[in-house]
């Protein structure tokens, strides 16, 4: 599952974890991304100490066999640096989780000041989707508007059984949460399921929204409905 930050991505990870037949992993390239870029993120030292910092080592862990029928990998598109290997994607079913840039930017700015376009993953998501034949694309707004309906469609596209277990999860987080959950996941930790339909788009005049919108619209034109 490829998304940018503030994109319903953790809720989706919890949803798949609640299936009962899935292993989940939370942003496995985060430490490698921080180590190579030197990016100053919240809890940087803790993140670097919690995961491998070698991208090749991370890839090996993602393509290794697991005992569960479903292996759900939550990836941030901006973590994937352009010179890192991506041939392993061909062994995966790749889903792209999109969200309107106005919502992404408004949410991100509440957690971290002065983001750049690279921080938000719009451009990188377009690049990664271009590497996949017939990518599966889902919109966070559609999932919140109709969780059961959209998750059934997603499961059908993936060729895995749908279960109502995906609609709810225990409050308080998941053992697979990254160490950064203490900073980013406070709202989702209070949840026990998907929030209701999103409010009207926030009216913000922001160059990041303008830059991200063409990427969002191009992918949205091909999304599951």
In the predicted model, what is the mean pLDDT of the chain? Answer: 94
Give the whole-angstrom CA distance, residue 25 versus residue 90.
Answer: 18
Give the whole-angstrom CA distance, residue 51 versus residue 35.
Answer: 11
Q: Is residue 46 part of a domain?
A: yes
Compute the radius of gyration of the chain from its Cα atoms: 16
Cβ density class 99-128: b for 16+ within 10 Å, e for less: bbbbbbbbebeeeeeebebebbbbbbbbeb
Q: By three-state DSSP, how is residue 141 classified? A: helix
Query: Sheet of 2-3: strands edge to edge?
Result: 22-26, 70-76, 2-3, 95-98, 136-139
Give the tens place of pLDDT for each residue, 82-122: 999 999 999 999 999 999 999 999 888 877 777 889 889 99
Q: Which residue, among 125, 75, 78, has the nearest Cα to 99 in the 3D structure?
A: 125
Work out the average pLDDT over 173-190.
93
Work out the average pLDDT over 166-173.
96
Q: Is residue 185 part of a domain?
A: yes
Per-residue confidence band for 199, with pLDDT thresholds at 50, 70 and 90: confident
Q: How many structural domains comprise the chain?
A: 1
Contact 95, 135 (CB under 8 A): yes
The pLDDT > 70 percentage for the chain reads 100
- Residues with Cβ within 8 Å of 137's Cβ and at least 6 positions away in sequence, in order, are 95, 96, 98, 129, 219, 220, 222, 223, 224
Q: Is residue 225 part of a domain?
A: no
Q: Is residue 174 part of a domain?
A: yes
Give the whole-angstrom CA distance, residue 6 versus residue 218.
Answer: 19
CATH code, domain with 75: 3.40.50
Work out the average pLDDT over 14-27.
97
- Tokens 């017939």: give the residue: 134
Per-residue pLDDT at 204: 79
Q: Which residue, among 146, 140, 142, has the nearest Cα to 167 in the 3D structure?
A: 146
The pLDDT > 90 percentage for the chain reads 84
Q: Is residue 200 part of a domain?
A: yes
State which residues form the domain around 67.
2-220
């Amino acid at each position: 599952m490829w998304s940018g930050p503030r994109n319903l991505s953790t809720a989706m990870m919890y949803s798949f974890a609640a299936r009962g037949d899935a292993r989940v992993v939370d942003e496995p390239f985060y430490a490698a991304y921080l180590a190579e870029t030197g990016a100053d993120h919240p809890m940087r030292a803790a993140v670097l100490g919690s995961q491998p910092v070698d991208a090749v080592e991370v890839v090996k862990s993602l393509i290794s066999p697991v005992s569960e029928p479903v292996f759900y990998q939550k990836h941030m598109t901006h973590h994937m640096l352009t010179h890192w290997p991506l041939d392993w994607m061909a062994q995966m079913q790749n889903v792209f989780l999109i969200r309107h840039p106005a919502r992404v930017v408004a949410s991100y700015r509440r957690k971290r000041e002065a983001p750049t376009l690279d921080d938000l993953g719009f451009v990188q998501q377009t690049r990664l989707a271009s590497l996949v034949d017939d990518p599966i694309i889902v919109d966070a707004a559609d999932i919140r508007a109709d969780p059961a309906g959209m998750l059934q469609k997603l499961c059908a596209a993936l060729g895995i059984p749908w279960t109502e277990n995906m609609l709810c999860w225990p409050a308080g987080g998941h053992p697979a949460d990254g160490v950064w959950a203490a900073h980013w996941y406070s709202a989702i930790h209070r949840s026990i399921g998907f929030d209701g339909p999103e409010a009207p788009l926030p009216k913000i005049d922001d160059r990041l929204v303008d830059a991200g919108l063409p990427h969002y619209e191009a992918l949205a034109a091909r999304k599951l409905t």
